[in-house]
Structure 1
Amino acid sequence: MDKWNTRQTLLMRAKDPNDQVAWEEFVSYYREFLKVVIYKINSSTSLSEDFLQAVLLEIWRSLPRFEVDKERAKFRTWLSILVRNTVLNQIKKELKQNKIRKELEPQAEPNQAELDQMVQKEWELHISRLALDNISQRFTGKAMDVFKLSLKGKSIEDICAELDITPESAYTLKNRVKKYLVREIKRLRTELEQ
């Protein structure tokens, strides 16, 4: 019998340092998000993979001690502080060892309010991209094309002309994809957020 029932979130499973599958799933969901946040803190591309590995290691070490407390702080807040502190510590370590050039120093350390706002925005974009990727396989034909063109700001008339479909079909396809996207975003938030 599986020791984790289906109501337990990925976060709760990933807290167990012995659950390699949960950790790998956690990393697959959070890797791209973490890369963006790290880049926003310091735009050094030469060290971004090193910073990412340091952040993942620190998450792995600290996650078992993380306690869900919705009144105090969300997981994203805890994560943003951990990422910021880890990256800034890595930069200081690199500078101390004279391994990086002066232009790789952080331009300005983001304050916590700025970081929280940036993390919130990037998280919402990340969840939306994950959800869109997840539902893309569900649709065949022109449904995803209609939806993606509408996301780019194309009018229904332009979409119909480009895809050779009627306005009724375009609205139907767009709304069908949107409906599944909203469900998938909700599912991912339930799974990935506390």
Structure 2
Amino acid sequence: MDDIYKTRKTLLFKIKDQYNDDAWAEFSEVYKHYIYAIIRGMKITAADADDIVQKIMMRLWKKLPEMSYDEQKSFRAFLAVVTKNEVLRFIEHRKRQMKRDQNAYDTDDGDYLSTIRLPEIEQIAQKEWEIYLTNRAFENLAKDYDTKAIEGFKMCLKGIGVGEVARLIGVEEKMVYNLRFRMKERFSKEIAKLRQDLE
């Protein structure tokens, strides 16, 4: 399990070399979807979100190799700030474009910009991070448990009763109890490991 993820410290050290393609591919795989989810949570369209993610990744490619590593700071919080700043740049750029076109706030774009919820960035980032960690933890569990077991455990997490879960996945109730106990402990460990490695 220790080999599944490089620690945040190790990965950040490796990407100090801007031309370490493997390290940057790993960095992108770990954090890109989280950044995208924050942007979409701010009501940015999918097309614009893709463009903003690319700008953020380029900005990080330039900036991260120069940064010193600080054990006490949350890298996730740093990413949320960088994302917020890039979205602000996007909004300001779009507003300037609209003014140049003499259509400020009278177009669909004006309505679109007004729906972006910048003050809630911290809540959006926190919510998306929890979803992201949960999904990554389930990806790890899928390496050791079959699909039926994973689906059964997800049902248990949603509060569905043991009897109903057993009926839906076609096993005895005793198996659901055992599965729930074993997977709950493993799931908690996966989440803790991901927090340690990625935040």
Alignment match, 1:127: 133
Which of 77, 99, 104 pairs up with 2:112?
104
Specify every segment of 5 or more residues in structure 1 that has no aligned partner in the other structure, as ranges. Answer: 1-5
C-alpha spacing 1:88/1:124, structure 2 compared with 1 (3 Å): same
Once residues 147 and 69 of structure 1 are traced to their aligned partners in structure 2, the CA distance between those partners, rounded to angstroms, is 37
Q: Within 5 Å, which residues of 2 pair with 1:4-153?
A: 8-71=9-72, 73-98=73-98, 101-107=109-115, 110-111=118-119, 114-140=120-146, 142-153=148-159
Counterpart CA distance in 1 for 2:146 and 2:74 is 37
User: 1:10 touches 1:26 (CA, 8 Å); kept in 2?
Assistant: yes
Identity of aligned residues (%): 28
Q: CA deviation at 1:165?
A: 2.1
Q: TM-score, normalised by structure 1?
A: 0.82
Task: Name the amino acid aligned to 2:198.
Answer: L
RMSD: 2.4
Following superposition, the deviation at residue 88 of structure 1 comes to 1.2
Partners of 2:21 and 2:117 lie apart in 1 by: 34
The change in CA–CA distance for 1:26 and 1:106 in structure 2 (over 3 A counts) is: farther
Deviations 1:47-105 (A, max 9, x none): 1111111111112222123333355x421222111110111102222332349822231
Q: Secondary structure in 1 aligned to 2:118? A: coil
Distance in 2, matches of 1:11 and 1:31, equals 15
One-letter amino acid of the structure 2 residue matched with residue 30 of structure 1? Y
Compared CA separation, residues 108 and 140, structure 1 to 2 (3 A) = closer
Offset, 1:33: 0.9
In structure 1, give the amino acid aligned to 2:76: R
Query: Matches of 1:128 and 1:188 in 2, distance apart?
Result: 9
- The number of residues matched between the two structures is 185
Q: Deviation of residue 125 (structure 1)?
A: 1.8
Q: TM-score, normalization: structure 2? A: 0.80
1:108: how far off? 5.3
Q: What is the aligned partner in structure 2 of residue 171 from structure 1?
A: 177
Paired AA for residue 75 in structure 1: F
Unmatched 5+ residue regions in structure 2? 1-5, 102-107
Q: Secondary structure at the match of 2:17?
A: coil
